[in-house]
Structures are given as structure tokens and as C-alpha cells.
Amino acid sequence: MTVSSSMYDILVAGGAGVDTIVRVPELRVPPGDSVFVPPVRDYVAHTGNGVACGTHALGLTTKFIDFLGADAQGHQILAAYATSGLDFSHVVSPHGTPRGVNLVDAQGRRFSFYDGRHPADLRLPRAFYLPFLERARHVHLSITGVTLDMYADIHRLGVPCSTDLHDWDGANPHHLAYAVASDYVFMSAAAVHERLDEVLRSILDRGRARLVVATDGAAGCHVLERGDTSVRRYPAVRPERPVVDSNGAGDAFVSAFLYALAQGRPVADCVLAGSVSGAFACTSAGTHTEFIDRDGLRAGCARAGADG
């Protein structure tokens, strides 16, 4: 394994896989035992892929690491990264490459079935990740479990880190371990609407987070920063093209937020960047098939700011 001596703006750990997208009229099982659908397609996907490809497209020096299987899905991922120029290193997993099956309805809403094939105790080897971590200015950890043991070295080295809890219910201990160990915490508000403020506050009270962001679809997002007395609400950004697929919108939000954060922008600007990027992702079919670039993000933020 060859490790560059140059610094990475961001190291993304965990979260590579392949999604099978099934487009359906609505998110429910219809009568009968079969239904015709548009062509079913496989996409390089999952949360770490979305963040890494997003920051790479925005011009951050990005390193991505994970397990991959020696299977057709693993080969598909490696071919995609070779084409895009994303710097990726992996350890071969005997359990194969993680997969998901996502149902997407006519409004672009989705429901995901994630196979979670990695055993609960599988971890990226320290000898593998440490040389990359030592060259990182920021680390983003996917909650796939394989990254959990990295926190001791992250904290020892003083590298700022982030994670995305996705649709955490505010109680699941697996997600909580990531929430309390990260400096920047992202999540979806989907499962905690009635307890949102309480859950955001608990993350700050129980852990080391500087801020926590809960994205909330068309309702925008909610931000609680350490020292704040109340949660701040930010409106959503209206997509500039028709919405066709919400797969990857949360990862696009995270990647642009972290990009703006790396530029030293204030939180409100980071939220705007994330919102523009997330809205953009909703306008392309499939998972992580189109990423906003630096010029597009700058122009989109300018337009959204003027509209607001």
C-alpha cells in the first residue's frame, strides 16, 4: 500500500456500496404478486461514496477508504472511481460489498433496504487507516460500524471529525456512539420530529459536538450550536430543476456543508451551501449520479441568497 505524503482536506471512512434503484408508482405494495416497473439499475452509492464524491467534485483533496468485496459490485465501484479520479483505498472483505435496494416513487421519495452484510465486529485495521488519518485535516466517518475504532486515534491526533446519523431515533446505541464522539453531527429529523429539540440538545450535552444539524426535507433544516439557547431553523432551497429522486440528497448536503466549513465560512453559509447541494442532488435520477461543482455551488448559493 502506497500512501501519499501530501495532506488530505478530508478523509472519508466507510460507506461504499451499490444501490439497486426500483422506480415504483408509490411507496406501497400494490395488489397482486407482481408489477411492471421501468428498468432496474445499479448505481455506485451509499453514504461514504456520496460524501467523498461530493467533496471531490467541489475540489477538496479527498481520500476515501473502506472494505470492498472481491465481487461484481466491488469491481463496479473501483471502475467508477478510476474514471472519476477519486482517491480510494480498500481492504478486501470476505463478506462482499454492501448493497441496498431503493424504491423511488413518482415524486422522487425513496425507501431503502440496506443489507448490512458486514458483521457487527468488523473494523478497518489500524495499520491500514492510520497512515491516511495522520495526513487528514478533517475526517468524516460513516456509521457502518467498520469505522468505530478510529475515534481513539482521531481524538489523540486532534483531527476534527464529523458523522451522519441518518434517520436516528435518538436512542439506538450504535448511532449514539458516533454522535457523542464526533465534532460535527448530521442527522435526519424524520424519526424524531416530536422530540427534535430534545434530541439535538442531548447530543451536545452527552458528547463533544460543536454543532448538530438535522435535515428535514422540504421543511429545511434545524441547527443547534454549542452555546446556543435554542435551535435555529433554516428554510429549504427550492430545486432549480424537476425533482426526480431524493437518493443521495443528505450526503450532498453534508459534502457541501463540509466544503464551506473548510473555507472558514460561518454556519449560515455552510447551511446554505448544503441546502443548494442537496436540492441539486434531488434533480438527477439514481443514487449519486451527478454532483454539483464549485462554480455551480457558488452560483446556486448566490441565487438562493437573493431569493431569500
Q: pLDDT, tens digit, for every residue of 115-157?
A: 988 999 999 999 999 999 999 999 999 999 999 999 999 999 9
Q: pLDDT, tens digit, for every residue of 286-302?
A: 656 789 999 999 999 99
State the amino acid at position 203 in one-letter form: I
**If pLDDT is split at 50, 70 and 90, which confidence band does 246 have?**
confident
**If pLDDT is split at 50, 70 and 90, which confidence band does 109 have?**
confident
Confidence (pLDDT) at 286: 61
Q: pLDDT, tens digit, for every residue of 59-84?
A: 999 999 999 999 999 999 999 999 99
Sign of CA dihedral 240, 242, 243, 244: negative
Percent of the chain with pLDDT over 90: 84
Chain centroid to CA 294: 18
| Higher per-residue pLDDT: 201 or 29 | 201
**If pLDDT is split at 50, 70 and 90, which confidence band does 18 have?**
very high
Radius of gyration of the chain (CA): 18
Give, in order, the Cα–Cα distances in Å from 264 to each of 141, 172, 267, 282, 297. Answer: 21, 33, 9, 27, 16
Of the ranges 17-31, 168-182, 191-205, which one carries the lowest mean pLDDT score? 17-31
- The mean per-residue pLDDT over the stretch 282-289 comes to 74
Confidence (pLDDT) at 305: 81
Confidence (pLDDT) at 100: 93
State the amino acid at position 184 in one-letter form: Y
